[in-house]
Amino acid sequence: MTTLNIESIEDKLFRLVDHTSIIDNILTHSDAEIVKESTLYYTLEHILQLSIQIILDIGTHILAEDFHKNPKNYAEVIIELGKQGIMSKEFAVAQEEMARFRNKLIHDYDSVDRSKTISYGRSAPEIFRTFGQAFTEYIKKQK
């Protein structure tokens, strides 16, 4: 029997869906509009940060509770999720950079390249949905 806090995971997944919807709405604007309108840009940046943190929090919780793994950093969380079969190894390896992007948003916020943030934002909804689906499938098996 799992010791996962499934209610907490489901709450975080609900937030991830909501955040993805907000990103989708922002992305109806052109890159130039997002850069020009600081409210759009900073909303995108913050929602990306929160969404990535949700993914990392869920992943860390699953790895600790069900696999007794304690990755040294957030990039390792993503890789370990692939190793444990929560998602494909290929997808995990491809998303390892996501954790580093989150760190840049938090710690190097004054040197974040806006065009890179928007570019990542354009790929984020599909990535976040894939993580959400993987986590949802995993917790269904645990119930």
Segments in the chain below pLDDT 50: none
Model confidence, pTM: 0.95
Which residue segment(s) compose the domain that 25 sits in?
6-142
Residue 132 belongs to some domain of the structure? yes
Residue 102 belongs to some domain of the structure? yes
Residue 1 belongs to some domain of the structure? no
Any idea what the CATH number is for the domain that residue 37 is in? 1.20.120.580
Residue 12 belongs to some domain of the structure? yes
DSSP string over 40-93: HHHHHHHHHHHHHHHHHHHHHHHHHHHH----SSHHHHHHHHHHTTSS-HHHHH
Q: What is the pLDDT of residue 143?
A: 76
Residue 114 belongs to some domain of the structure? yes
Q: What is the pLDDT of residue 142?
A: 87
Residue 85 belongs to some domain of the structure? yes
Q: What is the pLDDT of residue 1?
A: 54
* Domain total of the chain: 1
Residue 74 belongs to some domain of the structure? yes
The amino acid at 74: Y
